[in-house]
Amino acid sequence: MNRKFALGLVFALLLSSAMIVFAYGPAPSWQLTQAPAGVCSDDDVFIPGMEINVPAPMTASELGTYSAPGFPNLGYTQDSNFQGVGVFGFTVFTDPYVLPANTQVTLSVTTYKGPNYTGGVAYISTMTWDCTTGVISSLVNEAPTDACPSPLPGGAVLGEAPAGAQVYWGPSADKASPGVVLNPGTYYVIGVDATGEYSQVWLTCQSALLWVRSDTLQPSYAAPWNGQALPSKVVG
């Protein structure tokens, strides 16, 4: 369990073992249940009542994104290797931000079956709530009905396409996808082709892996990546 997760993790009151087991999602899962009020302006957001069901010897990993309309990367939660069964609180890491009162904010956490975001998606928990009142407008906790066709590969690093990027269905100039362009933003980079001229990019669990020119990408300096070099391993 990484340091940030350990610092942000606190035990909450457990009502009874029978009730808790009934409430949990399937193993492995990380399940949201409660939303905090008064988070329209904040620097790191504490989320109570999160239910973990990852019994030993199983280990899992999770990636979470915190967003609001117009702010797709407001914050994140990340743990590459965790284990435990219980009700916890945890911290979503953000930079200082200010939103209008009563803005709907969304936290979506994807649990992977293995450490380091491997093994495919086991569970997705998505919660939307009013940042002023804490009233939840949508809470969806579910295991995918079918296997994730494109799980985030291990070793992926978040990169930035500051000017966007033309999408290619293969690592070659003649394999451009007409009219398909990535918007300026951040994307997970998997590796490069044998020439290094093209980089493979992951978008979502439901999207095929794409290719863009490597010179359209640069490292992301947002936490926790802090300028980490993009992968140079050859993939195909």
CATH value at residue 132: 2.60.40
Q: Could you tell me if residue 201 is inside a domain?
A: yes
Name the DSSP class of 22. Answer: H
The verdict on 59 and 135 lying in the same domain is yes
Q: Could you tell me if residue 185 is inside a domain?
A: yes
Q: Is residue 3 pLDDT above 80, yes or no?
A: no
Q: Could you tell me if residue 119 is inside a domain?
A: yes
The verdict on 134 and 165 lying in the same domain is no
Q: Could you tell me if residue 230 is inside a domain?
A: no
The verdict on 30 and 131 lying in the same domain is yes
The verdict on 126 and 31 lying in the same domain is yes
Q: Is residue 186 pLDDT above 80, yes or no?
A: yes
pLDDT, tens digit, 9 for 90 and up, residues 114-172? 887 788 888 999 999 999 999 999 998 888 765 566 777 878 888 999 999 999 989 99
Q: Is residue 106 exposed (0-12), middle (13-18) or buried (19+ Cβ within 10 Å)? A: middle
The verdict on 130 and 211 lying in the same domain is no
pLDDT band at 87 (very low <50, low <70, confident <90, very high): very high
Q: Could you tell me if residue 228 is inside a domain?
A: no
pLDDT, tens digit, 9 for 90 and up, residues 158-177? 899 999 999 998 999 999 88
The verdict on 61 and 86 lying in the same domain is yes
Containing structural domain, residue 205: 157-219
Domain boundary, last residue among 142, 168, 191: 142
Q: Could you tell me if residue 122 is inside a domain?
A: yes
Q: Could you tell me if residue 121 is inside a domain?
A: yes
Q: Is residue 128 exposed (0-12), middle (13-18) or buried (19+ Cβ within 10 Å)? A: middle
The verdict on 52 and 108 lying in the same domain is yes
Q: Could you tell me if residue 232 is inside a domain?
A: no
The verdict on 134 and 197 lying in the same domain is no
User: Could you tell me the maximum CA-CA distance found in the chain, to the nearest angstrom?
Assistant: 62
Domain boundary, last residue among 82, 114, 142: 142
CATH number of the CATH domain containing 215: 2.30.30.40
Query: Number of structural domains, the chain?
Result: 2
Q: Which residues of 148-168 are buried (b: 16+ CB within 10 A; e: fewer)?
A: beebbbeebebbbbeeebbbb
90 residue type, one letter: F
The verdict on 87 and 191 lying in the same domain is no
Among 234, 209, 204, 214, residue whose Cα is nearest residue 173:
214
The verdict on 94 and 35 lying in the same domain is yes
pLDDT band at 78 (very low <50, low <70, confident <90, very high): confident
Query: Tokens standing for 81?
Result: 């290797």
The verdict on 125 and 23 lying in the same domain is yes
- Secondary structure (DSSP) of 86-115: EEEEEEEEE--EE--TT-EEEEEEEEESSG
Q: Which residue has the higher pLDDT, 225 or 56?
A: 56
Instruction: For the chain, give the percent of residues with pLDDT over 70.
Output: 87
194: left (phi over 0), alpha (psi -120 to 50) or beta: alpha
- pTM here? 0.58
The verdict on 164 and 196 lying in the same domain is yes
pLDDT, tens digit, 9 for 90 and up, residues 212-232? 999 999 999 887 788 999 999
